[in-house]
């Protein structure tokens, strides 16, 4: 960014200023993006765990065995809790499906967990996981397209100024500041849009 600004305006001060603005904003938004992505993957892993847990029960596995088998989806996202140690104070975070999980454990203690119908709940989880994946893939494609558009815009600016001999346009301080600010906000803008999109998935 600093090199591009310097090429366009021939002013090191504007180049440094624009780069600092871009770096600071990008760093802040990158942290926010990583935070929301971690939450997204944690939620996704929780749903995958619960689906696998229910599938194990459907396949007539013992409840404890179904739980232990499904725990592989939670690795790196949640602390593993032995099945026998789960209680009101020590349990997993399954977000929207927490109450169902707690209810199944309660019924298991009463030896009635096998009497429950799990198929509709499994279909709901499967559908939600599919929607999350589709929206995540769409976000990646959308922002790849946006990145290409912005990169093309920057290249056109270079061609317009250097090849078209239009550098006189940017000799005015007002134009220099405006163009520098625009360049500085391109990278943060992409990160902000991506952050908001993943946030939208989590709140859906």
pLDDT per position as a tens digit, 75-117: 989 988 999 999 877 889 999 999 999 999 999 999 999 889 9
Averaged pLDDT, 42-67: 95
Question: In terms of residue numbers, what domain contains 24?
Answer: 2-203
Lowest average pLDDT, out of 25-34, 91-100, 138-147, goes to 138-147
Averaged pLDDT, 8-24: 67
Tokens for 165, please give them: 């001999």
- Alpha carbons within 13 angstroms on the beta-carbon side of residue 185 total 7
| Count of domains observed in the chain | 1
Exposure letters 4-27 (e unless 16+ CB within 10 A, then b): bbbebbebeebbebbbebbeebbe
Tokens for 9, please give them: 């305006």
Report pTM: 0.75
């Amino acid at each position: 960014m600093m090199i591009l600004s310097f090429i366009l305006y021939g002013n090191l001060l504007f180049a440094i200023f624009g780069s600092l603005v871009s770096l600071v904003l990008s760093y802040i938004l990158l942290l926010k993006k990583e935070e929301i992505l971690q939450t997204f993957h944690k939620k996704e892993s929780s749903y995958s765990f619960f689906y696998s847990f229910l599938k194990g029960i459907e396949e007539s596995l013992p409840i404890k065995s179904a739980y232990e088998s499904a725990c592989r989806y939670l690795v790196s996202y949640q602390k593993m809790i032995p099945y026998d140690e789960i209680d009101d104070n020590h349990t997993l975070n399954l977000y929207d499906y927490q109450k169902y999980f707690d209810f199944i454990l309660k019924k298991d203690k009463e030896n009635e967990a096998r009497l429950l119908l799990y198929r509709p709940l499994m279909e709901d989880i499967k559908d939600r996981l599919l929607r999350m994946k589709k929206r995540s893939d769409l976000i990646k494609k959308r922002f790849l397209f946006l990145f290409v558009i912005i990169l093309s815009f920057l290249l056109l600016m270079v061609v317009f100024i250097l090849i078209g001999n239009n550098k006189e346009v940017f000799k005015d301080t007002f134009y220099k500041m405006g163009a520098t600010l625009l360049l500085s906000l391109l990278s943060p803008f992409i990160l902000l849009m991506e952050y908001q999109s993943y946030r939208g998935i989590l709140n859906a």
